[in-house]
Chains A and B, each alone.
Chain A
Amino acid sequence: MTDTSSHTRHPVLGPRALWTGGAILIAVLAAFLLPARLAGSPDAPLLPVSEWVDAAMNWLVRDAAIGGLSLSDVTRALAASAQWPIEALQKLLAEGWISGAGFNKKQILPPASWLGVTLATALLAGRLAGWRLGLFTIAAGTYIATFGLWTSAMMTLSSVLFCVLAALILGLMLGIRAHRSPGIEPTVRAVMNVMQTVPIFSYLLPTLLLFGYGPSAALFATVAYAMPPMVHATVLALQSVPPDTMDLARMTGCSRRQTLWKVELPVAMPRLAIGLNQVVMMTLNMVIIASMIGAGGLGYDVLRALRRLDFGAAFEAGMAIVVLAVLLDRLTQALARKQSAGLRKGRFGRDLLIAGALVLIPTALSLLVPALAIWPKAWTISVAAPLNDAVSFVNQRFYDPLEALRTFALLYVMNPIRDMMQLLPWPVVVATVTIAGWILGGVRAAMTVAALALFIVVTGYWAAAMGSLYLTLLSVLVSLAIGFPFGIWAASRPRTQQAVQIFLDTLQTLPTLVYLLPAVMLFRNGDFSALIAIVSYAVAPAVRYGIDGMLHVPSERVEAAAMAGCSRWQTFRYVRLPGALPTLLLGVNQTVMMALSMLVIAALVGTRELGQEVFTSLSQGLAGPGIVGGLCVACLALIIDTLLKAAAARATQQDRSSHV
């Protein structure tokens, strides 16, 4: 793709690439010729949108009522009812039954013993997915207990279980609804995209007012963030059910409900499982942010440890989150597979009895042997001290070369790009993306893209948005440059798959702050540390889609190429790569989305862009600017999404037409 002479036979863009190139050239030229007033960004918002939003929010939170019942009363009742099962679970797993408080605090019943819970879960895991997962469960439970993280882990687990369940049920319901009435499907998809890309911090303030301060607001935010992938997956899964299967259901006289539960959902199960996986990952990904706003547990442990710069302890608690994520994911996946294969009922009952006994006996014994209830503090293991020493060692020995790297990147790459993008006049940028939309996806795409870009201009967030865009684009480029080659390499080595999977799961669920703060020690506050944070999170989808794209190139094509005497490089360049292109483009799309969703975390190490605007409005208690800033992030995301989706559709088309 580097040689300019190949424009005309380019597999993706064809002759239209000339148009795009021309448009960009005009844009750059215009940047220098336009009057200075239009250059860069409009100084003040053209419309006071954030004030309108503020007013609307005030009304919604304070005065809105449905038939005499105020909205905030309804939401508060909802919050209280969601709180109840979680508190019950927390009593059971983490705290036990306690009466009184302060000097009168008395433990009446102990929580379920760590040994019992671990063994029972291991039994379940063994039955569902084989002895290897069973062993992993025991190792995981032992790690969490002996490192003194059990109580926090169970607090987290209680709310995570509830959130996963809520996101799963709501996502399924919405997905089924959207699938059945294709009219509302685009709307649902748009709303889900916005939900996923508006940073949580931006709607936190109204959430706090509606649901009350504390854990309920955190629950709401988590479900809102984790549900969209389930909706997408449900719609996709149901669409993929073959028409013949549906015909069969109709002919055998299934009712609508029977068709759904006995035919459609079981057939769609493998694809639904992908959605479930994402729900689990996203929920655990939210653990940190949720604990910033009132959920306790492991996330809170991580934050506390980081506050005293105890990186080792933060890492230990962070790894416990990863362990929970991996375990929960593998268990739910196995359950989904079993569900579609049909569960054997008889054995299930007996297992339940054994599991119950496994939990109850150690718990009862823990009244006599307290070590079974909570692992004694004196026995806890910790690797925090050597980890902290390692960070200090690197800081003292390797700071100078790292500083040279940072300075080079900042002075010669990042700052120039940032300054250039800040200088680009907004009319030119808007025009360029509109033309790109028209070339790639036609009039509709052009209109969508233009409207979204103009929203950012009108609300006065243009400069901040360009800051976000520069950081996002750079991080995406780096992520792709690392992720795709690595993914393509991993795809050709099936043996590495499992290790790669675990590595990616870790990247996606280990709280970013855990490795971000050591990075700040080495690279200081600022954009370079932010870049590292974003890349380390956004590289995961790049690798995943890299692997996926390569594995799904039809084998006949590869064989045909081999028979035609292609070299390995030729097969890769002319067969595998074009075949994988649609998937790779989707990978680019997901990488961009992940990068954008990390902007708020990046704000925590001192960037200056939309994420920071949102974060600042939150801490100053300004609902309007927070929401509008968040919507601008969503606009950026949707613009890029529209363009890339259109490009991917074209690539698929071309791929088909060139191989028929």
Chain B
Amino acid sequence: MKKTFAAATLAAFLLGGTAQAFEPESDQPIKLMQADWTSSLVDTEILNIILSTFGYTVEKVIADDSARYPGFENGDLTIALETWQTTQDKAFNASVATGKVLDMGELGPKAREDWWYPSYMEELCPGLPDWTALKNCAEAFAAPETAPKGRYLGAPVSWGGFDEERIKALDLPFEVVHAGTDAAMFAELRAAYERKAPILLWVYKPHWAPSVYDGKFVEFPPYEEACYSDPSWGLNKDMAYDCGKPQGWIKKMAWAEGEKIWPCAYDITRKFTMDGDEVGKLVYEVDVNGRTVEDVAMEWAKANEAKWRDWAACAAN
């Protein structure tokens, strides 16, 4: 046993020795923010693998999507890979404006979130996915407690989204019922889908649900900034929010002072990009096939080694 142990230590030393030709600028831990949805878990783990391979000390820190900003401003968190324009636009811009947080560019995938229905509902509500069809089929989506209005299952209150306002502005015969969590929202989708029962709810992607369940987003008048800020914009001249939800970027962000501590790690992070479909597939592996995030991320890292070694040009010498 002693022999095995000695051999293992030796091997570790030798292997470590060859890879550590690059000396990280600092051994202070880089704190990667880990949010709670799957795509962010996977890409954060991939960045963890890349940075760790070049010898950086990396910690993964779980933080809430909206509660992250003070952490980034005081250096409790160093890098986050996913900031969604759809929900974080204002808070992100405000935080960047303080000068303490850096916009590190887009990750690649585009986020979409809006009202969504399973395809079998098109029979019950002809005219979908155009939103005007909803005006005539509230009954088809009604539940006993909302009847005669239709029931729309909204996201957790904390996600915002202005659905109550949208319903008023577009004069839709619907009532919003808020789910408490992401999981509770999709539990209802699954229940309805299994029974081919009516449902209209908030879905976002990249997420596994739209790839497992067959359905479509409702097409509202496309979002423009003026729609949310200017009542006179759009169909309803007196109210804002008479349009769909913003579709938008997913950005990387970082603690500004870290640029001086780990310039090379920041360079790698800026170059780190992923393809939208690729992220969708990784999420599917984890959420639907039940594999671990670590396995899926390591598999990606092995398959794409040339790509990320290329990003890490600054660590190559």
Contacts and interface: CB of A to CB of B under 8 A. Distances in A.
A209 B59 CA distance: 18
A294 interface: yes
Max count, chain B CB within 10 A of own CB: residue among A101, A105, A399, A607? A101
Contacts of A618: 64, 67, 158
A605 B180 contact: yes
A208 B19 contact: no
B12 interface: yes
A604 B181 contact: yes
Nearest to A612: B157
B191 A521 contact: yes
B107 to A, nearest CB: 20
A342 interface: no
A242 B31 CA distance: 56
Contacts of A498: none
A192 interface: no
A525 B67 CA distance: 25
A521 B188 contact: yes
Given A213-B77, A308-B287, A108 B65 contact: no
Interface stretch (A407-415, A421-429, A431-439, A554-562): A407-415
A569 interface: no
Contact of A517 (B19, B144, B183): B183
A313 interface: yes
A350 B153 CA distance: 63
Contacts, number: 177
Given A520-B184, A525-B153, A619-B158, A108 B144 contact: no
Chain B residues touching A, range: 35 or more
A551 B144 CA distance: 46
B179 interface: yes
Nearest to B182: A307
Contact of B287 (A102, A307, A620): A307
A581 to B, nearest CB: 38
Interface string B228-259: 00000000000000000000000000000000
Given A100-B16, A306-B183, A108 B9 contact: yes
B188 A525 contact: yes
Contacts of A410: 144-145
Contacts of B287: 307-308
Interface string A110-154: 000000000000000000000000000000000000000000000
A364 interface: yes
A447 B208 CA distance: 55
B190 interface: yes
B187 A517 contact: yes
Contacts of B316: none
Nearest to B31: A213
A182 interface: no
Interface string A605-634: 111100010011011110000000000000
Contacts of B195: 395-396, 399
A605 B52 CA distance: 39
B124 interface: no
Contacts of B158: 615-616, 618-620
Nearest to A607: B180
B180 A364 contact: no
Contacts of B62: 213-214, 293-294
Given A399-B195, A525-B188, A415 B145 contact: yes
Contact of B144 (A107, A209, A411): A411
Given A294-B61, A307-B38, A621 B66 contact: yes
Given A395-B191, A619-B65, A606 B178 contact: yes
B145 A104 contact: no
B264 interface: no
A292 B9 CA distance: 36
A79 B58 CA distance: 19
A395 B186 contact: no
A104 B53 contact: yes
Nearest to B76: A213
Nearest to B160: A620
A309 B71 contact: no
Contact of B49 (A103, A310, A604, A621): A103
Nearest to B183: A306
B61 A213 contact: yes
Contacts of A108: 5, 8-9, 12
B226 interface: no
A205 interface: yes
A42 interface: no
Contacts of A620: 66-67, 158
A243 B277 CA distance: 75
A291 to B, nearest CB: 8
Interface residues of A, number: 63
Contact of B184 (A292, A606, A612): A606
A603 B8 contact: no
A367 interface: yes
B185 interface: yes
Given A209-B70, A212-B76, A619-B66, A308 B187 contact: no
Contacts of B191: 395, 399, 520-522, 524
B97 interface: no
B279 interface: no
B274 interface: no
Nearest to B69: A621
Nearest to B51: A102
Max count, chain B CB within 10 A of own CB: residue among A513, A526, A607? A526
Contact of B290 (A106, A313, A612): A313
Interface in A581-616: 602-608, 612, 615-616
A340 interface: no
B49 A102 contact: yes
Contact of A308 (B31, B64, B197, B288): B288
Contacts of A513: 183
Interface in B197-215: 197, 208
Interface string A212-255: 11100000000000000000000000000000000000000000
Contact of B67 (A205, A368, A524): A205
B67 to A, nearest CB: 5
Contacts of B77: 213
Max count, chain A CB within 10 A of own CB: residue among B20, B65, B188? B188
Contacts of B185: 525
A313 B288 CA distance: 13
Contacts of B8: 106-108
B225 interface: no
Given A101-B49, A619-B158, 11 more contacts: A99-B16, A101-B58, A102-B53, A104-B52, A214-B62, A309-B190, A395-B195, A403-B144, A606-B179, A620-B66, A621-B64
14 contacts: A101-B53, A103-B52, A105-B52, A309-B190, A367-B4, A395-B191, A407-B145, A415-B145, A518-B187, A525-B188, A526-B177, A604-B181, A605-B181, A612-B180
Interface of A: 99-109, 205, 208-209, 212-214, 292-294, 303, 306-310, 313, 364, 367-368, 392, 395-396, 399, 403, 407, 410-411, 415, 513, 516-518, 520-522, 524-526, 602-608, 612, 615-616, 618-621
Interface of B: 1, 4-5, 8-9, 11-12, 15-16, 19-20, 31, 33, 36-38, 48-55, 58-59, 61-67, 69-71, 76-77, 143-145, 153, 156-158, 177-188, 190-191, 194-195, 197, 208, 286-288, 290, 301
7 residue pairs, one from A and one from B, having the closest CB atoms: A102-B52, A101-B52, A102-B53, A619-B158, A521-B191, A604-B180, A106-B12
